[in-house]
Amino acid sequence: MAGNVWFIAGASNGFGRAIGFEALKRGDKVVATSRNPAKMEDLKAAGALVLALDVTSDDATIRAVFQKAVDTYGKITHCINAAGYVLEAAAEEASAQEVFNQFNTNVLGVMSMTRHALHHMRPRRQGVIANFGSLASWQGVPAASYYCSTKFAVTGFTETVHNEVSGLGISAVIIEPGHFRTGFLNEGGANRIKAANPLTEEYKGTPVDVVKSQLDGLDNKQPGDVVKGAKVIVDVLTQTGVAEGKKIPNRLILGRDALDAVQDKIKSTEANIKEWEHVILSTDHDDVKK
């Protein structure tokens, strides 16, 4: 696909930043957005159009930023929604405001960006929207109840959007990476927010306590290489390189740990169905054909 224009939300770090650099390296145009444009000076120096954008902004604000991108480059071919963070909290530990903030960024922000991207892609009957899920789209991780639920939500939303717009020449893809070395788990960063009132003693020795310790140990030691991941993502979304001759998948899983999570989910689901199939089928009306 020639003349690609990438609109990236959450381009100041992690996958958003890496995708921006990979696209620029290929000669594509990049519109890099983030709440903090100062963190994208290197992308700007590399040729990106850098714009301030908080994905939780109102429609008028988001619309204006998209319009600035279209006014500059004439179109948007790829929209990447990489903004997000993890609220480190068991279900009981989080406040209502902390839960709202998590969903506002990770889910409602993705939905807003998708709506506005479709407004520009639909008339052209061409485009790719890629929303970030996670291995947490497949499994419930203790100490991340709300983060996991946001990723389940984004996956369901994205799959449905794809079914709505694929006939219009638009693809919606959920990208599901495992643990990548992006700084996502860094203490004091913007991507790992701990509940203000944790129940440390109450959950001592439980899976919640274990996972919190594991996250500390995993920080900066994640197995995934974000540069390699970004290269695969750009290949897949442009149907080049490793994706030459392939259709864009609805779900793009990245990393061995993510693959393991998916395979575990498939096995446990199949086992559950096998054990309970007779009960599952027993609830239909008697006049339904067997």
CATH number, domain of 35, equals: 3.40.50.720
User: pLDDT tens digits for 134-188?
Assistant: 988 899 999 999 999 999 999 999 999 999 999 999 999 999 999 888 766 666 6
Burial of 191 from C-beta contacts in 10 A (0-12 / 13-18 / 19+) = middle
Asked if residue 268 belongs to a domain, the reply is no
**4 neighbors 23 (Cβ within 8 angstroms):** yes
What CA–CA distance (Å, rounded) separates 67 from 240?
28
List beta partners, residue 15: none
| Structural domain count of the chain | 1
Domain assignment present for 62: yes
Q: DSSP H helical segments within 14-105, as ranges?
A: 14-25, 41-45, 59-73, 96-103
- Residue 194, domain member (yes or no): yes
Domain-located, residue 21: yes
Residue 271 lies in a domain: no
Q: What are the start-end ranges of the H helices in 125-225?
A: 145-165, 207-218
Average pLDDT, the chain: 93
pTM of the model: 0.92
> What is the tens place of the pLDDT at every residue in 26-64?
999 999 999 999 999 999 999 999 999 999 999 999 999
- Beta-bridge partner residues of 6: 30, 78
Q: Is residue 154 part of a domain?
A: yes
**What is the residue range of 158's domain?**
5-255
3 state SS of 38: helix
